[in-house]
Structure 1
Amino acid sequence: MSVIEVSDGQGAGPAIPVGTGPRAVALAPDGSRAYVANAGSDTVSVIDTAAGLVAATIPVGGSPRGVALTGDGRRAYVPNSGTDTVSVIDVPTARVTGTIAVGTNPTGIAVAPDGLRVYVADAGSHSVSVIDTVTAQVTATVPLDAAPRGLAVSPDGRRVLVTTPEADSVSLIDTGTDQVVGTVPVGTNPAGVAPAPDGRHAYVANAGSNTVSVIDTATGQVVGTVPVGTNPAGVAPAPDGRRVYVTNAGADSVSVVDTGTNRVTATIPVSAGPLGAAVAPDGRRVYVTNVGANTVSVIAATATYRVAETVTAGANCWALATTPDGSRVYVANAGNVAPTPNSSVSAIDTATDHVALTVPVDTPVTVAVAPDGRHAYAAGARSVTVIDTTTGQVTATVSVGITPTGLAVTPDGRRLVVTVIVAGTVAVIDTATNQVIRTVTVGKNPTAVAAAPDGGHVYVTNGGSNNVSVIDADGGQVLSTIRVDDNPIGVAVAPDGRRAYVTNLHSRSVSVIDTATATVTATVTVGTSPWGVAVSPDSRHVYVANMADRTVSAIDAETL
């Protein structure tokens, strides 16, 4: 676990050795892996971002020049310029499962936000190949007036932006018709291109004029030109859209552009020949391929925070919770089964940032702390473990059923509510006796649970039945069942108790529930695969973590 403190610095840490001639990098949606296309060794290096080491090396076609992942992170696509193909990598197994013939000398590649199409820049044949990811076939070839180099898909999936260095322009392709619908003149020899997360602007690295062009995507006009370093090649916006990172291949540096002012606010030295760049989903790390050094540089991206301490809590950390006074953080370490079980709950002393105690617990996946801070609760396997926070001893183990996943303590601390995903139930535990006093049948695959501030009601998301169960915390009765969107996964109740917010994983939305009427009063479109949700203390803002597109959506609750 890392502890972050305020700082003003930015900088690149030790570089990670990869294959020969690394040209491009892409991150998994959860940020756990970085995939690097090595043109000189015909491979893709898979970096474990937590360890900062290469975890696997995947042979692909000849001279791979790019890499792009689907939103669910299950497949990666690699254009091989030496063999005129695209390799399809099955991410879970780290193996190539297919090879698709495309145009001549493919260089750039991008996946549509819905994952149904892959677009490939074919430099040798002056075209863009469109691949259907379901059939793994090229369904269209879009002719261009000049050789393409880089390309990107707009966040709404309606446009493909393609740089054409010989024409000093960016071509705009309508994805509905697979036709070029516009051309935007930019700087000299444009290379990399990337849209802002909100899709309102696109940024183009002009290698020949040492600038970045800022395009207004609504008008198709250049609205800004930013001087950067020598021979800029790659461009990567931060998930919050506030910064753009530009690799300067001729200056061995990365320029940091403030998108509000279109000015360079920092220049970060890296290794020789930086080309590709990708920003972590949380925006705190930037990964840069250095073709001249056969390495990847990792930049601490934030200008306001830095890692002050890294605390080794335990194996496979899943969740954490703080005590009300902030003196300790409890971490659920799900652990490894082999060679020996090592799951536990760690208690970190926040004054020293060291583990004060470690309590063996059976595969905990979530943890909660009582309002008075006297007990911590960890759910895993088939039970809930009760830990006395004063002594660090396990005082009870409460059997609840297979795979408890969600925990919520009522505000008065009298009840602990546990979702049991396999059984489709909620266990209500009396915290005074540590006994299950009720088992409430809810919908299919209950995942998350949240208690209302007054403790009267509990809200449970049922991912398998697309609804939310509202339970009387004292009586243990299902008071109502509220239909929401596809696969509800997270839930949070506003501090004023007036609304509950539910993330719907498969429909890119948040359902807004009026707690007085138990009805959905609004549905808010957010990013791809929304999961976690939290409400500000004043109930005025809602924050949603969008797992697949590496963003956080901020909702103004007062406008709903």
Structure 2
Amino acid sequence: MRAGTAVRASGGGVGRRRRGVRAAAAALLPAVCGLLAGCLDSQGIDPPTDRFFFPTGMARTAGGRYLLVANSNFDLRYNAGTVVAVDLARVGAAIAECSGCCRQARDEASFLRTEATVILGSQVTDLAVAPGGERAYAAVRGNASLTWIDLDEAADGAGLLTCFDAFSGSRRCDGRHEVIRTGDLWVPAEPYTLLVLEDWVLTGHVDSGDVALFDVAGGRAPALVRVLDQFPEGVNGLARHPSGDWLYVVSRDSSRLYPFTVSMASRHAGEGPAVSSAPAVAVTSNRDGADCRSLAFSPDGTRAFVANRDPPSLVVFDSTPRADGSPAFTLLATIELGNGPSKVAVQPLSGGGYLVLVVCFNAEQLFVIDPGLLAVVHVLPTGVGPHAIVPDAEARRAYLANFGESTIWVLDFDPRSAHFGQSVLSIGTPEIPSSHD
């Protein structure tokens, strides 16, 4: 289906009456994953350039100057979503003015480079920056596309983010910056997760279980070159082992991790990318271990952390590769979490070491795990519907997107700080989701 056609959600996931913040937020991401699938941009109200509205994806720019935030337009209040740039220097200055911890929420407009905001399709589900920092990529469910944005971190003003002709007079991404199909190969429906590598971009598709593979080698425009269909339905996570060879698929409909590799040589030989798989890794240390949501590796690749929703737990493996480089997973621990684990991330610490952060959407909590102790060392209450989290090792902080209330929290992870493990700045005014027919 194409942009420009409005499709309304049906069923009981989004009611006709206004609900309270917490009741509405409990259904937000499931609705995004199902009832609103296929919703497209309407011809109604243009989105604001200076606001968060249901943020789903975030990515720190390579030079560390900006945090890019994808606003999903979940409730279809506007005719599109946006990607905005949070100026992290302004964030740091605000925290310093508050002596390290700001007690009052701040309006987001004062932190955004609003002149750089770009408009793209509704229902953005994930956002990532290329390793070289020259592009940002967004998975867009509204028109089942991979959308890319040219990124110039050194540029001032509007040149920071562009996805349109310089003379278009609009900040809306044009068709040249969207991949819906390449030749006869179409992007599958329901893109949900992204993995951006040096030469490839991969999108995982939650309904079909497909993984789409895009060639971006040499800075070329993304070209869809293969759709992998050997994975189970419910793909909602992709990760790469730090060794660089093995990629992994995570599925909410499976109790396994699925390793595979993509051959670079075959692409250059003109034969198309070759994909090799290894045996799946069972995540069955507690009950069936079903409904895996996210996977992250330690910086050295010796530990793997799997966020599992049923039962809610973090499953920890020794992921040191075998002598031949092939995957090896040995169970180390299963750590109990709050309801609804959705994302796991590794937070590097100054002076070495790291912590593991797990976002629990339903419980509205962030669990902090010490990987040496294999134990929870802190539980932080969050805003409504926490979802995306981005560590910032240089600033000794992490950024948490509260999808259900449209805010971004800044978390302090400086071991020297009196506010370690706390939210030190809330950006944006919490907002009740609007209902629609």
TM-score under structure 2 length normalisation: 0.51
Determine whether 1:367 maps to 2:238: yes
CA distance in 2, matches of 1:328, 1:279: 22
The match for 2:211 is: 345
CA distance in 1, matches of 2:49, 2:301: 41
Cα distance change, pair 113–197 in 1 and its aligned pair in 2 (3 A)? farther
SS in structure 2 at match of 1:519: coil
Cα distance change, pair 376–455 in 1 and its aligned pair in 2 (3 A)? farther
Determine whether 1:463 maps to 2:351: no
Cα distance change, pair 411–497 in 1 and its aligned pair in 2 (3 A)? farther
SS in structure 1 at match of 2:280: strand
Determine whether 1:411 maps to 2:411: no
How many pairs does the alignment contain? Answer: 276
**Any conservation in 1 of the 2:378–2:421 contact (CA below 8 Å)?**
no
CA deviation after TM superposition for structure 1 residue 279, in Å: 8.2
Deviations 1:121-150 (A, max 9, x none): xxxxxxxxxxxxxxxxxxxxxxxxxxxxxx
Specify every segment of 5 or more residues in structure 1 that has no aligned partner in the other structure, as ranges: 1-47, 56-75, 77-90, 101-110, 115-191, 200-234, 243-258, 261-277, 286-298, 337-342, 531-546, 550-560
CA distance in 2, matches of 1:366, 1:193: 32
- 2:344 pairs, out of 449, 467, 478, with 449
- 1:399 pairs, out of 282, 294, 298, with 282
CA distance in 2, matches of 1:240, 1:316: 19
Which letter does structure 1 place at the counterpart of 2:341?
P
SS in structure 1 at match of 2:300: coil
CA distance in 1, matches of 2:213, 2:45: 45
CA deviation after TM superposition for structure 1 residue 426, in Å: 0.7
CA deviation after TM superposition for structure 1 residue 548, in Å: 7.7
CA distance in 2, matches of 1:548, 1:300: 31
The match for 2:381 is: 483
CA distance in 1, matches of 2:216, 2:336: 39
Cα distance change, pair 440–318 in 1 and its aligned pair in 2 (3 A)? same
- 1:520 pairs, out of 417, 422, 435, with 422
Deviations 1:523-558 (A, max 9, x none): 41326679xxxxxxxxxxxxxxxx989xxxxxxxxx
The match for 1:387 is: 260
Cα distance change, pair 308–507 in 1 and its aligned pair in 2 (3 A)? closer
CA distance in 2, matches of 1:487, 1:521: 16
Higher RCO (C-alpha 8 Å, min separation 6): 2
When Rg is computed on C-alpha atoms for both structures, the one with the higher figure is 1
**Any conservation in 2 of the 1:455–1:473 contact (CA below 8 Å)?**
no
CA deviation after TM superposition for structure 1 residue 430, in Å: 2.4
SS in structure 2 at match of 1:396: coil
CA distance in 1, matches of 2:123, 2:192: 17
Cα distance change, pair 194–483 in 1 and its aligned pair in 2 (3 A)? closer
1:466-545 correspondence runs (5 A)? 466-496=364-394, 498-515=396-413, 516=415, 518-526=420-428
Cα distance change, pair 402–483 in 1 and its aligned pair in 2 (3 A)? same
Cα distance change, pair 388–474 in 1 and its aligned pair in 2 (3 A)? farther
Deviations 1:385-432 (A, max 9, x none): 111334622213122212111222222222221111221101122222
CA deviation after TM superposition for structure 1 residue 497, in Å: 5.8
Which letter does structure 2 place at the counterpart of 1:520?
Q
- Larger deviation, residues 497-506 vs 414-423: 497-506
CA deviation after TM superposition for structure 1 residue 474, in Å: 4.2
CA distance in 1, matches of 2:334, 2:195: 25
Determine whether 1:435 maps to 2:301: no
Cα distance change, pair 405–497 in 1 and its aligned pair in 2 (3 A)? farther
Cα distance change, pair 53–373 in 1 and its aligned pair in 2 (3 A)? same
Identity %: 19
CA deviation after TM superposition for structure 1 residue 378, in Å: 0.7
Which structure has more helix as a fraction of its residues?
2
CA deviation after TM superposition for structure 1 residue 94, in Å: 9.9
Cα distance change, pair 53–300 in 1 and its aligned pair in 2 (3 A)? farther
Determine whether 1:378 maps to 2:252: no
1:96-107 correspondence runs (5 A)? none
CA distance in 2, matches of 1:413, 1:53: 45
**Any conservation in 1 of the 2:361–2:385 contact (CA below 8 Å)?**
yes
Cα distance change, pair 496–333 in 1 and its aligned pair in 2 (3 A)? same
The match for 1:253 is: none
Which structure has more strand as a fraction of its residues?
1
CA deviation after TM superposition for structure 1 residue 369, in Å: 1.6
Deviations 1:438-491 (A, max 9, x none): 211122211111102355211111223322111123442212222333332222
- Larger deviation, residues 468-477 vs 504-513: 504-513
Specify every segment of 5 or more residues in structure 2 that has no aligned partner in the other structure, as ranges: 22-43, 52-77, 86-113, 125-137, 141-167, 264-273, 284-288, 322-327
CA distance in 2, matches of 1:491, 1:481: 15
**Any conservation in 2 of the 1:509–1:523 contact (CA below 8 Å)?**
no
Cα distance change, pair 426–548 in 1 and its aligned pair in 2 (3 A)? farther
CA deviation after TM superposition for structure 1 residue 368, in Å: 1.2
- 1:426 pairs, out of 314, 317, 335, with 314
Cα distance change, pair 362–529 in 1 and its aligned pair in 2 (3 A)? farther
**Any conservation in 2 of the 1:508–1:527 contact (CA below 8 Å)?**
yes
CA distance in 1, matches of 2:341, 2:84: 34
CA distance in 1, matches of 2:169, 2:121: 10
1:72-87 correspondence runs (5 A)? none
